[in-house]
Amino acid sequence: MSNLNTDQQRKFYLKTLGCQMNEHDSEVIVGILTGLGYQQTENCEHADLILYNTCSVRENPERKVYGQIGSFKMLKQQNPDLLIGICGCMPQQKEELDQILTTLPHVDLVFGTHNIHRLPELLERAQTEERVVEVWDDSKGIVEDLPIIRANKFKAFVNVIYGCNNFCSYCVVPYTRGRERSRLPKDIVAEIRQLADEGYKEVTLLGQNVNTYGADLDQKATFAELLTMINDLSGIERIRFTTSHPKDIQDDLIEAIATLPKVCEHLHLPVQTGSDRILKQMNRHYTSAYYLDLVAKIREAVPDISLTTDLIVGFPGETETDFQETLNLVEKVKFSSAFTFIYSPRPGTPAAKMPDQIPEVVKKERIYRLIELQNQISHEYMQAHVGKTEEILVEEITTKTCELSGRTRTNKQVLFSGSPDLMGQLLHVKIIEAKTWSLKGVLA
């Protein structure tokens, strides 16, 4: 890679779209590029390499990628040495890959989610070859020990299981991320021990469905067992995880959340819809009654738990009655917050071919009603914090107001004034005001 070590340091601009999995993949990409001597820039006009780590879960963000990458043609005219790359979930789909290759001829480098570790070689080839495209279908193995430069100094993402076996009928992720593959417990524990040595206080364990962690290992393990091992590591103070499929939540996991002191009282439990008919069409393998029972059981074991969810409106065939059932469920559960999505047909998924696709106006009207209801519930949830004292991990300084920012164990953001020396500490903060998405506090 001698041509990379020129006097003037090469710069890369990295844009990350999509879920935490992609955010964490980008931390690996930053680690690799930094190791190659590149420096990160926030300004794409200063970059020698522009890389988009893409998401395929809905259509709109995909369309934007085509627009943005299209506009970089100009930059390339100004700087003929500029390399432009697309990685992440979009190239993992055949239709999308073809479209990238035909409609974006100025893209030099395309790779997928299974071959990020190949970036040094791909980049070297891209310096001389017309275009480098390498997308792997699936990867049986897991590549350990890649360099990672994390976005935060105190909280870290840690992969525990890759891929998804669930094939919810609307979802593209099983096609872009392949089948479930668990990391070995010893590798996960070693990574977290190292993080603790570096001063990290919090880990978020990542998987499309962490609840099936360990089922594919020769020496079977469960997610609850993994949590117990991590709970024993000194230095780490908080353990979070995402995502949990409701069908796979076992009693031992609920027990682990209730009893392990470092496991935080927050569970992201995507329900998607309150209609049993639509749940079936979605291939979710549970009913709304099952979900409500599960919520009751979890709340009995962990009374202060914050439950958050994902909801889709306008799935094919969704009637006003089906939608009312979603509103009813949301009303009953009282999620502390929810991600709400308009159903987006994804090529290659069964739902995209289902009859009775819902018109855009109906989808929009439904999502507005859903958001209004959830906002009201979220607001009440936030309001109930006022006057209470919460344990906060100080994570960041806000750029606008220079306040300190941290999160409660239930994952709500709290802003308060304090010295920058407090970064990385666990502190008690008294909540004095609730806003829609954050809380304001004073050091207790």
| Rounded least distance, CB 171 to ligand SAH, Å | 4
Closest to 106 in 3D by CA, of 75, 136, 128: 75
By CB atoms closer than 10 A (0-12, 13-18, 19+), residue 211 is: buried
Going 17 to 177 to 191 to 227, the CA torsion angle's sign is positive
Q: Provide the CB-side half-sphere exposure for 286 (13 A, CA).
A: 20
Two tokens, residue 436: 């829609």
Stretch that binds ligand SF4, among 44-52, 135-143, 170-178, 423-431 (CB under 6 A): 170-178
By CB atoms closer than 10 A (0-12, 13-18, 19+), residue 7 is: exposed
Contact 40, 9 (CB under 8 A): no
Phi, psi of 267 (to 5 degrees): -135, 120
> Residue 31 carries which side chain, given as an amino acid letter?
G
Q: Rounded distance, CA 296 to CA 300, Å?
A: 6
Cβ count within 10 A of residue 443: 14
* Nearer to ligand SF4 (CB atom), residue 36 or residue 171: 171
Choice from 28, 44, 158, 168 touching ligand SF4 (CB under 6 A): 168
Choice from 132, 156, 171, 333 touching ligand SF4 (CB under 6 A): 171
Phi, psi of 303 (to 5 degrees): -60, -35
Closest to 410 in 3D by CA, of 436, 377, 439: 439
| Residue 178 touching ligand SAH (CB under 6 A) | no
| Rounded least distance, CB 173 to ligand F3S, Å | 5
| Rounded least distance, CB 389 to ligand F3S, Å | 36
Q: Rounded distance, CA 251 to CA 107, Å?
A: 49
| Rounded least distance, CB 66 to ligand F3S, Å | 16
Choice from 70, 71, 167, 251 touching ligand SF4 (CB under 6 A): 167
* Nearer to ligand F3S (CB atom), residue 55 or residue 65: 55
For 193, residues 6+ apart whose C-beta sits below 8 A from its C-beta are 233
Q: Rounded distance, CA 230 to CA 183, Å?
A: 14
| Rounded least distance, CB 370 to ligand SF4, Å | 18
Contact 275, 286 (CB under 8 A): no
Residues in 335-364 at the binding interface with ligand SAH, rule: CB under 6 A? 341, 343-344, 346
* Nearer to ligand SAH (CB atom), residue 171 or residue 227: 171
Binding mask 155-174 for ligand SAH (x = CB under 6 A): ---------------xx-x-
* Nearer to ligand SF4 (CB atom), residue 201 or residue 245: 245
| Residue 25: strand, helix, or coil | helix
| Residue 223 touching ligand SAH (CB under 6 A) | no
Residues in 81-140 at the binding interface with ligand SF4, rule: CB under 6 A? none
| Residue 244 touching ligand SF4 (CB under 6 A) | no
| Residue 208 touching ligand SAH (CB under 6 A) | yes
Q: How many residues bind ligand SF4 (CB under 6 A)?
A: 10
| Rounded least distance, CB 320 to ligand SF4, Å | 24
> Residue 386 carries which side chain, given as an amino acid letter?
V
* Nearer to ligand SF4 (CB atom), residue 15 or residue 247: 247
Choice from 31, 61, 120, 174 touching ligand SF4 (CB under 6 A): 174
| Rounded least distance, CB 245 to ligand SAH, Å | 6
Give which of ligand F3S, ligand SAH, ligand SF4, none residue 330 binds (C-beta under 5 to 8 Å, depending on kind). none
Closest to 144 in 3D by CA, of 127, 122, 159: 159
Residue found under tokens 């308009």: 342
Query: How many residues are there in the chain?
Result: 444
| Residue 312 touching ligand SAH (CB under 6 A) | yes
Give which of ligand SAH, ligand SF4, ligand F3S, none residue 167 binds (C-beta under 5 to 8 Å, depending on kind). ligand SF4
Q: What residues make contact with ligand SAH under the rule CB under 6 A?
A: 57-58, 170-171, 173, 208-209, 243, 245, 270, 272, 310, 312, 341, 343-344, 346
